[in-house]
Amino acid sequence: MKATHSRVEKALVLTSAIALLMGACAAPRALPTADSSAQPAAPAETAAPAEPTRLVLRTTTDPDNLDPHVSAASLTQQIMLNVFEGLVKPAPDGGVVPALAESHTVSPDGLTYTFKLRAGARFHNGQPVTAADVQYSFDRLMGKGSPDGKPLTASLADVESVATPDAATCVIKLKQVNASFINLLATLAVLPAANDGQHDKAPIGTGPYRFVSYEPQQRIVLEKFADYWQDTRDMIDQVEFRIIKDDQTALLQLQSGAIDFTGVSSEQLPTLGSSFKVVSHPANSVFILAMNHARPPFDTLKVRQAIAHAIDKDAIIQAVFNGYAVKLGSNMSPVMARFYQDGLQDTYPHNPDKAKALLAEIGYPNGFPMTLSVSSHADLYGRTAQIVADQLAKVGIDVTIETVEWGVWLERIYTNREFDATLIDFTGKLDPQAVLGRYASNFRRNFINYNNPAYDALMEQAVRATDPATQVERYKQAQQVLAEDVAAVFLLDYQFNWAMKPQVEGYTPYPIFFHDLSRLRLTR
């Protein structure tokens, strides 16, 4: 649904902070009459006309745009991935599975992708999905026919051409091999050409749920799409995403039964009580202590190593996240299973004496002063900053914490790169290239000024690799380089905790922001 990749800079952080929250409400389940025969439930109930099943989930904020090609917010994607689909869609394991294309083949040179479009897929307005709609969607994403010709996403930068030679085929040719291309397609929605100009007001997609209404600061309502290309009989009929900004309010509403599903912070978990089900999973975030490599003394490897040795990640996880986080060693969460290089967490273990020795060795026996600038838009940063400052003080580094407003952070630190050090969390992506590409010297938002030609070479080899094994190997080596270089101090991946009524079954975590409604069920 959305072009998150294209707007890396915006989507990047934002979401993690807001973190959490969703809610679902479990109405007593009543079987639709149509499936009463298939489901031998209590006969008395199946005889009566079924009451539609309903679920109320909490979300924290208004969607940034209902048009999936324009929206950049992960929290919007979390909802709207239920409404829109691309040729492929995300899978819980981080890969992709067929969606509007029932299969695809890649040419031996890795440059031509041929998709066989699914017969029988329909838009929510009842119209069949045609090759023309697919063509329209890619043209729109690539900016063809728009007044300024600007693409709506950077994900298709490597695309040479998109063609639909016949009603059941879509052929995409690339300019150069891009091993992560297929992953990028998972969040690029196919939209009906007939709805042009209305995508942000009356969105029409092909997903298992259709958009019903949106009331700003109140709710987004979705409804099961009966003509979906997969079996929808067991899915919940109506789903409401209620917009509740405050965590404590949401928790109270869950406990009072007003909502059925919400994200809860780790501090709230103990107060939840035993009458709710909780699903916790790593967020696929990467929370880092970023240092500006263009500013002395952070340009010196031994200084960065000393800082890494001074930081006690376990204490941070305990104090700030109540233990609900996993320790990282490089810029990738274990959630990225296939690509994740394990064992890097202990590249520079917590060891204040070693840190002091390293500092003395390079002429800072008494440490040095530095400023840690953190955004105030989520208290996660300020709280982590305090404990980081405390740990660095123990090796003689005198940290001044500077709190800045989020707009200032984006402008001064992220864009103009005027800072010593900062704390930031990168939110999850499906594509390892998008996760690790931040440290490429030519990446536009390489705001820490990391520059290592060996790293750039590994990343280039990975994305141009036609052999998946080679690609995985290069990404793993790249993680090792980041860890050994202390490109940043890679702290942790925090967890999301979703609390729901016990009747809600099938909640499936994804490595990206996505509440997959099609897998949810209500039991009695």
- Judged by the rule CB under 8 A, the positions of this chain that interact with other proteins are 247-248, 265, 267-268, 270-271, 315, 318-320, 376, 379, 382-383, 385-387, 389-390, 400-405
Question: Would you call 315 helix, strand, or coil by DSSP?
Answer: helix
**Residue (316 or 335) nearer to other proteins, CB:** 316
**Residue (189 or 423) nearer to other proteins, CB:** 423
Tokens 């979401």 sit on residue: 15
**Residue (269 or 301) nearer to other proteins, CB:** 269
Residue 374 Cβ vs other proteins, minimum distance, rounded to whole Å: 9
Residue 251 Cβ vs other proteins, minimum distance, rounded to whole Å: 8
DSSP state of 26: -
Question: Would you call 115 helix, strand, or coil by DSSP?
Answer: strand
Burial class for 506, CB neighbours closer than 10 Å (0-12, 13-18, 19+):
middle
**Residue (167 or 393) nearer to other proteins, CB:** 393
Question: Is omega for the bond preceding 297 within 30 degrees of 0, making it cis?
Answer: yes
**Residue (379 or 505) nearer to other proteins, CB:** 379
Residue 433 Cβ vs other proteins, minimum distance, rounded to whole Å: 35
Distance CA 55, CA 58 (A): 10
Paired strand residues for 328? none
- List Cα–Cα distances, 231 to 221, 288, 431, in angstroms: 21, 42, 29
Phi/psi for 372 (5° steps) reads: -110, 110
**Residue (327 or 383) nearer to other proteins, CB:** 383
- The torsion of the CA quartet 375, 380, 384, 385, rounded to 10 degrees, works out to 20
> Do 170 and 162 contact (CB within 8 A), yes or no?
yes
**Residue (321 or 450) nearer to other proteins, CB:** 321
- Characterize the bridge pairing of strands 209-215 and 219-224: antiparallel
- The torsion of the CA quartet 155, 160, 164, 165, rounded to 10 degrees, works out to -160
Phi/psi for 336 (5° steps) reads: -80, 35
Residue 319 Cβ vs other proteins, minimum distance, rounded to whole Å: 5
**Residue (178 or 373) nearer to other proteins, CB:** 373
Residue 467 Cβ vs other proteins, minimum distance, rounded to whole Å: 46
Taking alpha carbons only, the member of 16, 290, 281, 4 closest to residue 141 is 4
Residue 59 Cβ vs other proteins, minimum distance, rounded to whole Å: 20
> Do 59 and 220 contact (CB within 8 A), yes or no?
yes
Paired strand residues for 163? 171
**Residue (126 or 273) nearer to other proteins, CB:** 273
**Residue (103 or 248) nearer to other proteins, CB:** 248
H or E element, residue 291: strand 286-291
Phi/psi for 388 (5° steps) reads: -60, -45
Residue 385 Cβ vs other proteins, minimum distance, rounded to whole Å: 6
Residue 311 Cβ vs other proteins, minimum distance, rounded to whole Å: 13
Dmax (CA) of the chain? 83
H or E element, residue 98: strand 96-98
Question: Would you call 524 helix, strand, or coil by DSSP?
Answer: coil
**Residue (154 or 319) nearer to other proteins, CB:** 319
Residue 376 Cβ vs other proteins, minimum distance, rounded to whole Å: 3
Residue 293 Cβ vs other proteins, minimum distance, rounded to whole Å: 25
Centre a 10 Å sphere on the Cβ of residue 469 and count the other Cβ atoms it contains.
8
Residue 350 Cβ vs other proteins, minimum distance, rounded to whole Å: 12
Taking alpha carbons only, the member of 425, 426, 419, 390 closest to residue 403 is 419
